[in-house]
C-alpha cells in the first residue's frame, strides 16, 4: 500500500482535473524526437478521460525567461494527440481569459494542454497569486510528473496545497518502486554507485552508507577512493583533493555497518579512446602512465557476488567509461547479472539517474530491471535522502 493519495481515491467524473505532466521532450525542427515522456503519461490521461473527467494538462518546457515562442508547447500538443489517438486542444496561455475559455469549452473525456507554465515567473517562484490563477481552472489536481517533483514550483507543489491532490499512475509507480528500493526495502540492500566524480555525489554516498548493507563504488569516482586509501591511480580521473571526503565516507560506512566494495582490479589504457590498447592490472599495481577506464573481471566477480547476496539493488552511475568500448564491459556484465537475478525473482532492482538509463539500455537489460527511473535530478535527490516537495504534498 502506498502512503500517497492516488487516482483510486479521486472522483473525477465531470470534474475539471488539472494534471501536471512532464512533457519536456527533446525536439528538433518542431518535431518530437523521443516520445518516452509522452508515452509515460498516457495511462493517467486515458484513465481520467475514460472516467469522464475533463483533463487539463499542465507542463513546463525548457527554461524560458518569459514568453518565448521557441519554447511553446503547441507542437507537443500535436504529438500527445498522435500518441493518445484522441484530439488534444491547446490554449495559448496557462492562466487568464484564454485558459478559462478553453477550460469552459471542455466536456467530460476531453483533453486540453495549456501553454508552458514557465512563461510566467510565478511558476518557479511558487507565487500564491499564480497558484490561485491556476487553481481557478480546476476542481482536482493530479501530479504525474515525478521528474519535476524535486522543485517546489506552483504547478508541482503550490497547487497540491490548495486543491484536493492525487498521484497519477506514473507517479504512483515511481513512488512504489522507490519505496521498495530504499524506504522499506527487503534486506539485504546493495547499492551500486558509479559515474565520473565523487564531487557530484557526496550527499548521495553519505546517505546510502547509512541505509544500505553494502555499497559498491565504481567508475571514475572509485579512483578517488582508491587514491584516498594510499594507492596509486596513475593518470586516472581522480579528485585527489577529495581524499578526506572519501575517507570520511568510508568511516561513516564502518560505523553504519555498511560494507564498502571498491574495485580490486582495473582495465587500463594510455588514452581515453574507443578500442584503445588496454590491460587489466591489480588495483595496487596501476601503471603510472595509464588510466583506469573500467572495473576489471575480478571486480565484476565481487560485484556479482554482492548482487547474489542482496534482495534489493539500487543503482546509479556506470562502472566504467561505458560509451567507449571495450570499457563498457564491467557495466554490461554487472547489469546483465542483476537483470538475470531479477528475472529469477531473487532481486528487486531499481536504477536511475542520468547516464544510468543509457548504460542499462546499452547493456540491453533496462526492461528486465524491476524499475528504471528516467527522472534524473529528482531520482538523485531521492537517493540523497532529500524530501521532494512535489511528493511530500501528495502524502495521505
Ligand atoms: P555520471 O554522470 O556522474 O553518472 O558519470 C557518467 C560518466 O562517467 C560517463 O560518461 C562515463 O564515461 C564516466 N566514467 C565512468 N567511469 C570512468 C572512468 N574510470 N574514467 C573516466 N570516466 C569514467
Domains and CATH numbers, the chain: 7-170 (3.40.50.1260), 185-383 (3.40.50.1260)
Q: What is the pLDDT of residue 374?
A: 86
Report whether residue 218 contacts ligand 1, using a CB cutoff of 6 Å.
no
Q: What is the pLDDT of residue 189?
A: 98
167-180 pLDDT, tens digit each: 999 999 999 999 99
Query: Averaged over 135-142, what is the pLDDT?
Result: 98
Query: Averaged over 287-300, what is the pLDDT?
Result: 98
249-289 pLDDT, tens digit each: 999 999 999 999 999 999 999 999 999 999 999 999 999 99
> Residue 122's pLDDT band (boundaries 50, 70, 90)?
very high
| For residue 3, pLDDT beyond 90 | no
| For residue 308, pLDDT beyond 60 | yes
Q: Using DSSP, how many helices (H) and how many strands (E) does the chain show? A: 15, 17
Return d(Cα 268, Cα 313) in angstroms, integer: 27
Query: What whole-number percentage of the chain has pLDDT above 70?
Result: 99
Query: Averaged over 142-153, what is the pLDDT?
Result: 97
Report whether residue 195 contacts ligand 1, using a CB cutoff of 6 Å.
yes
Angle at 10 between CA 89 and CA 173, to 5 degrees: 85
Residues near 285 by beta carbon (within 8 Å), at least 6 away in sequence:
none
| For residue 1, pLDDT beyond 50 | no
Q: What is the pLDDT of residue 338?
A: 98
Rg (CA), the chain: 23
The minimum-distance atom of ligand 1 relative to the CA of 316 is 4
Backbone φ and ψ for 40, nearest 5 degrees, come out as -65, -30
> Residue 78's pLDDT band (boundaries 50, 70, 90)?
very high
Q: Point out which residues pair with 373 in neighbouring strands.
A: 352
- Strand (E) positions, the chain? 16-20, 27-28, 31-32, 54-58, 89-91, 111-114, 140-143, 165-167, 189-193, 214-217, 259-261, 265-269, 278-282, 291-295, 312-316, 348-352, 371-373
> Residue 74's pLDDT band (boundaries 50, 70, 90)?
very high
Q: What is the pLDDT of residue 250?
A: 98
Return d(Cα 131, Cα 146) in angstroms, integer: 19
* pLDDT mean across residues, the chain: 96
The residue behind cell 539500487 is 314
209-222 pLDDT, tens digit each: 999 999 999 999 99
Angle at 267 between CA 366 and CA 373, to 5 degrees: 20
Q: What is the pLDDT of residue 203?
A: 93
More confident residue, 183 or 278: 278
Query: Averaged over 42-70, what is the pLDDT?
Result: 97
Report whether residue 219 contacts ligand 1, using a CB cutoff of 6 Å.
yes
Q: What is the pLDDT of residue 82?
A: 97
User: How would you list the strands of the sheet with 165-167, edge to edge?
Assistant: 89-91, 111-114, 54-58, 16-20, 140-143, 165-167
Report whether residue 355 contacts ligand 1, using a CB cutoff of 6 Å.
yes
| For residue 183, pLDDT beyond 50 | yes
Nearest CA to ligand 1 atom 18: 220
Query: Averaged over 344-370, what is the pLDDT?
Result: 94
Q: What is the pLDDT of residue 320?
A: 98
More confident residue, 354 or 230: 230
199 C-alpha to center of ligand 1: Å?
A: 13
Nearest CA to ligand 1 atom 12: 321
In order, the DSSP letters of 293-323 are EEE-HHHHHHHHHHHHH-SEEEEES-SS-TT
Return d(Cα 281, Cα 295) in angstroms, integer: 10
316-332 pLDDT, tens digit each: 999 999 999 999 999 99
Please state the residue numbers annotated as binding site. 22-24, 37, 60-63, 118, 151, 201, 323, 353-356
Query: Averaged over 371-387, what is the pLDDT?
Result: 92
- Catalytic residue numbers? 37, 197, 354, 377
The minimum-distance atom of ligand 1 relative to the CA of 356 is 4
> Residue 2's pLDDT band (boundaries 50, 70, 90)?
low
> Residue 30's pLDDT band (boundaries 50, 70, 90)?
confident
Q: Point out which residues pair with 27 in neighbouring strands.
A: 32
Amino acid at each position: 500500500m502506498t502512503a500517497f493519495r492516488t487516482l483510486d481515491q479521486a472522483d473525477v467524473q465531470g470534474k475539471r482535473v488539472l494534471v501536471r505532466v512532464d512533457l519536456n521532450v527533446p525536439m528538433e525542427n518542431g518535431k518530437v524526437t523521443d516520445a518516452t515522456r509522452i508515452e509515460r503519461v498516457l495511462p493517467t490521461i486515458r484513465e481520467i478521460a475514460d472516467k469522464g473527467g475533463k483533463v487539463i494538462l499542465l507542463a513546463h518546457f525548457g527554461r524560458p525567461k518569459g514568453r518565448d515562442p521557441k519554447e511553446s508547447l503547441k507542437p507537443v500538443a500535436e504529438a500527445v494527440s498522435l500518441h493518445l489517438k484522441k484530439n488534444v486542444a491547446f490554449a495559448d496561455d496557462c492562466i487568464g481569459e484564454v485558459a478559462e475559455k478553453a477550460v469552459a469549452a471542455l466536456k467530460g473525456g476531453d483533453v486540453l494542454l495549456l501553454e508552458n507554465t514557465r512563461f510566467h515567473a510565478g511558476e518557479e517562484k511558487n507565487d500564491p497569486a499564480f497558484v490561485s490563477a491556476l487553481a481557478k481552472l480546476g476542481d482536482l489536481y493530479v501530479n504525474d510528473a515525478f521528474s519535476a517533483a524535486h522543485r517546489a514550483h506552483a504547478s508541482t507543489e503550490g497547487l497540491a496545497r490548495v486543491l484536493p491532490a492525487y498521484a497519477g499512475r506514473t507517479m504512483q509507480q515511481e513512488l512504489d518502486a522507490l519505496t521498495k528500493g530504499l524506504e522499506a526495502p527487503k534486506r539485504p540492500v546493495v547499492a551500486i554507485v558509479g559515474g565520473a566524480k565523487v564531487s557530484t555525489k557526496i550527499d548521495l554516498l553519505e546517505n546510502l552508507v547509512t541505509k544500505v548493507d553494502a555499497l559498491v563504488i565504481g567508475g571514475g569516482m572509485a579512483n578517488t577512493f582508491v587514491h584516498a586509501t594510499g594507492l596509486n591511480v596513475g593518470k586516472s580521473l581522480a579528485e585527489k583533493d577529495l581524499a578526506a571526503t572519501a575517507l570520511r565516507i568510508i568511516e561513516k560506512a564502518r560505523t553504519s555497518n555498511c560494507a564498502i566494495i571498491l574495485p580490486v582490479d582495473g582495465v587500463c589504457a594510455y588514452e581515453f579512446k574507443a578500442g584503445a590498447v588496454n590491460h587489466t592490472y591489480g588495483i595496487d599495481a596501476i601503471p603510472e602512465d595509464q588510466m583506469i577506464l573500467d572495473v576489471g573481471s575480478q571486480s565484476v566477480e565481487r560485484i556479482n557476488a554482492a548482487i547474489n547476496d542482496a534482495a534489493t539493488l539500487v543503482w546509479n552511475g556506470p562502472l566504467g567509461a561505458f560509451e567507449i568500448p571495450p570499457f563498457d564491459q564491467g557495466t554490461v556484465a554487472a547489469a546483465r547479472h542483476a537483470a538475470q537475478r531479477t528475472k529469477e525473482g531473487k532481486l528487486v532492482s531499481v536504477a536511475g539517474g542520468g547516464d544510468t538509463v543509457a548504460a542499462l539500455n546499452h547493456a540491453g537489460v533496462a526492461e528486465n530491471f524491476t524499475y528504471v527511473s528516467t527522472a534524473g535530478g529528482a531520482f538523485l535527490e531521492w537517493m540523497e535522502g532529500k524530501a521532494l516537495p512535489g511528493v511530500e504534498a501528495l502524502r495521505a
